[in-house]
Amino acid sequence: MVPVMKKSSKNRLTPGQQSLFPGESLFDRIARAVCRAGTLPRKELYETWEMARRVRRQFRGGRILDLACGHGLLAHVMLLLDRSSETALAVDPHIPPSAEKLSKSLTETWPGLENRITYLRMSIQEVEILPGDLVVSAHACGPLTDLVLSRAVESRARVAVMPCCHDLNLSSTGALDGWMEKTLAVDVVRAVRLRSRGYRIMTKKIPETITPKNRLLMGEYEADEE
Ligand SMILES: C[S@@+](CC[C@H](N)C(=O)[O-])C[C@H]1O[C@@H](n2cnc3c(N)ncnc32)[C@H](O)[C@@H]1O
């Protein structure tokens, strides 16, 4: 019997696991490059892929800003899914040393990525965001997601976040928690707030079998504030 691969596994993908991804699909090729780097948990590969493809169904082009990027896989996948985005910035004050290894493995597989992704060791507060940018952020913990949204809104840039680690002391439930689960209330407030700033919003989920922190909020500025 073929063993079922647990997509939510936190085990690190290693070069020996390339055989789990034998196909020629873009996903399998990315997965093998991630395995060769030997730096990322399996869960992160699937989270990133599922988020990126949903975002790309809504938003094409633009400079990519992967905020709270960690290893920066999302920045790479966003470029691979849409060649009309030329460059990406991967921003995080604590970029792990192994991020370079991951980027090298992906760039060796797709030489066209060379010099198009820049890692910036800085905080979300410091990065300049332009109106044409596409801001993405996977699992920016707690209020960091609120910061990503407000920074994107300042520049009326398109934005996509997948929140995690909701902090009920720092992010508002809007008193909706009498009707719904508390972390859902926080994300509903975020969505409604984004819409009140003139954004058209979209709400999606990635599969719960990968992560329970699977809500994806996307928005695009469309009108002047009310
Ligand atoms: C849960 S990790 C998510 C990493 C990656 N996006 C992912 O999906 O795996 C949260 C990241 O936020 C980063 N971070 C914390 N404070 C930050 C800030 N002020 N600006 C940017 N990133 C920050 C941390 O260093 C960490 O890498």
| Domain-embedded: residue 13 | no
Give me the phi and psi of 119, to 5 degrees please: -85, 130
End-to-end CA distance of the chain: 59
Tell me the two tokens of residue 188: 């509903």
pLDDT of residue 5: 79
Q: Which atom of ligand 1 is nearest to the CA of 140?
A: 10
Closest ligand 1 atom to 68 CA: 22
pLDDT of residue 46: 98
CATH code (residue 113): 3.40.50.150
Pocket of ligand 1 contains residue 50 by CB under 6 Å: no
Residue nearest to atom 14 of ligand 1 (CA): 68
The verdict on residue 1 lying in a domain is no
Residue 23 CB contacts under 8 Å (≥ 6 apart), including other chains: none
CA dihedral 166, 194, 76, 22 (to 10 degrees): 70
51 found inside a domain: yes
Specify the DSSP element, H or E, that contains 46: helix 42-58
Q: How many domains does the chain have?
A: 1
Residue 89 dihedral angles phi and psi, to the nearest 5° = -110, 135
Residue 198 in this model has a pLDDT that exceeds 60: yes
Which residues span the domain enclosing 31? 18-221
Write down the pLDDT at residue 118.
Answer: 98
Structure tokens at 156: 């009326």
The pTM of this model reads 0.96
Average pLDDT, the chain: 96
For residue 28, being part of any structural domain is answered with yes
Q: Is 206 part of any domain?
A: yes
- Which of 144, 148, 151, 215 most suits a substitution to test ligand 1, by most atoms within 8 Å of the C-beta? 144
